[in-house]
Amino acid sequence: MNNHILSHLPYKSSFRFVDNILLLSEDEVRGEYTLKEDAFFYEDHFAGNPVTPGVIVTEIMAQIGLVVLGIFLVLKETDFNFMDDDSLYPLLTSTDVSFYKMVLPGEKVTVISKKQYFRFGKLKCHVEMLDSDKELIASGTFAGIIKKIAVKNG
Amino acid sequence: MTRQEILNELKKVISPYTTNKEMLAQINEDTDLLKDLKINSANLVDIIIDAEAKYDIEIDYDEADKMMNVGSCIDVISEKIGQKQ
């Protein structure tokens, strides 16, 4: 229902951290992701003792909390066809996150993001990640923009 | 409100968004927010929102676009304050 927005995400396979959008409105998004047991980062982080890196937890929060909501807002607000323009990318401009719990391979996490503002193309949100027992894994403030990038190949 | 008064208050608005406090202490109308104060360009939006709250004004997209140095920020703010009166 809300998942059509996922076709607009620019991430592929090993760096796409959104499975399912539970709720999507102008002020809030909720989404889920299950960490794959064979994800590339577990082999080395840490050897013999796989734990999800904080940067990946941060990325999951950013993709669900900021990028999904940001694309939704941009599509709603503007006439230009965002997705036909493949030089437009979501960019993270700041994060401030605190971590409370580890995330292990195979865990399913839920991200809840509430909009603080969306102005002049910048989206700022308060984002929380919860585990399946609804316990807080991480929370923080995320901000980003969608920017045209001239990608030079070769 | 004089331009100097606005400049003094603008310093307080900008302060949370720059680590260059030495430069901030001696800003003038030519000080560039990005180049001189090394402000993250996305945080200009926060400065504009904070300035709106402080002066109870509303800044639109075209005006925001002009606010690249201290002088142009003062231009926009003083014009907006003038319109309120």
For chain A, list the domains and their CATH numbers. 3-148 (3.10.129.10)
CA dist A114 and A151 (Å) reads 32
Question: Which residues of A touch chain B, with CB atoms under 8 Å apart?
Answer: 93-94, 117, 119-120, 122, 124, 143-145
The residue of chain A with its CA nearest to that of B62 is A120
Task: List CB contacts (< 8 A) between B64 and chain A.
Answer: 120
Q: A147: Cβ–Cβ under 8 A, 6 or more apart, which residues?
A: A88, A89, A90, A91
Percent of chain A's residues with pLDDT above 70: 88
Residue A22 has pLDDT above 50, yes or no: yes
pLDDT tens per residue, range B38-85: 999 999 999 999 999 999 999 999 999 999 999 999 999 999 999 987
- pTM more than 0.80: yes
Give domain limits for chain B: 3-84
Query: What value of ipTM does the predicted structure carry?
Result: 0.87
The residue of chain B with its CA nearest to that of A120 is B61
Q: Hey, are the CB atoms on B42 and A144 less than 8 Å from each other?
A: yes
| CATH fold for domain B3-84 | 1.10.1200
